[in-house]
A and B are shown apart, each in its own frame.
Chain A
Amino acid sequence: AQSVAQPEDQVNVAEGNPLTVKCTYSVSGNPYLFWYVQYPNRGLQFLLKYITGDNLVKGSYGFEAEFNKSQTSFHLKKPSALVSDSALYFCAVRDANTGNNRKLIWGLGTSLAVNP
């Protein structure tokens, strides 16, 4: 069965420090992996995705994520955190072998707090 785990409910980091938000997944075939961000009282915004190719994916707002097939992980990173990065982050996955089934499996979210 497909699943996504975000092992940390909350991550705290000081402004200017690097940040990492963790995501691990389980699918039977090749994964399509996504990160979304949700600011308070807003809808989810797409940050980046891994479909194929380079394991390091760069996305919006200076975020990047590294796909690690052996560790089945797709951690979100940013070299220097901003207070404005404080938000709820969601990881999602789909098995590439499920054809036209476009349903994504979502993690429960990680709340990122960047302290000034």
Chain B
Amino acid sequence: DAGITQSPRYKITETGRQVTLMCHQTWSHSYMFWYRQDLGHGLRLIYYSAAADITDKGEVPDGYVVSRSKTENFPLTLESATRSQTSVYFCASSSLGLTDTQYFGPGTRLTVL
């Protein structure tokens, strides 16, 4: 049971390049989330999705794009990477029920030079 996976685990890129972070879950969870984690800021929600083809902005969506054509995948794209987007990115998923428990992937550490 793979659960929720993220790729790549580590990525170094340059300012201005487009980068896509992948997230895949095997539970058929309806909800998926993208967070970034930075010292002093805790977890901040970038985007989330309630189902395939339904996405919505979180706290810090600027500079990011998401899509969800299939329930199991929720890629996050940085259209033109900036140094301020250097961070650790976590994907999470949760089921449609009331329990709300979110299950997290292992994270992607992104460095923008």
Contact = CB atoms under 8 A, between A and B. Distances in A.
Partners in one complex: yes
Interface of A: 32, 34, 36, 41-46, 49, 51, 90, 94, 100, 102-104, 106-109
Given A102-B48, A102-B50, A103-B45, A43 B102 contact: no
Chain B residues touching A, range: 20 to 34
A45 B104 contact: yes
A77 to B, nearest CB: 20
Contacts of A51: 98-100
- A-B CB proximity, top 6 nearest: A43-B104, A108-B42, A44-B104, A106-B43, A43-B106, A102-B31
24 contacts: A34-B100, A41-B107, A42-B106, A42-B107, A43-B90, A43-B104, A43-B105, A43-B106, A46-B101, A46-B102, A49-B100, A49-B101, A51-B98, A90-B43, A102-B48, A102-B50, A103-B48, A104-B100, A106-B42, A106-B43, A108-B40, A108-B41, A108-B42, A109-B42
A104 B100 CA distance: 9
Given A103-B48, A109-B42, A32 B100 contact: yes
B94 to A, nearest CB: 6
Nearest to B94: A102
Nearest to A102: B31
Nearest to B91: A43
Contacts of B104: 36, 43-45
B64 interface: no
Interface in B33-85: 33, 40-43, 45, 48, 50, 58
Contacts of A41: 107
Most B CB within 10 A of own CB, among A42, A102, A107 = A102
A51 B99 CA distance: 8
A54 B99 CA distance: 16
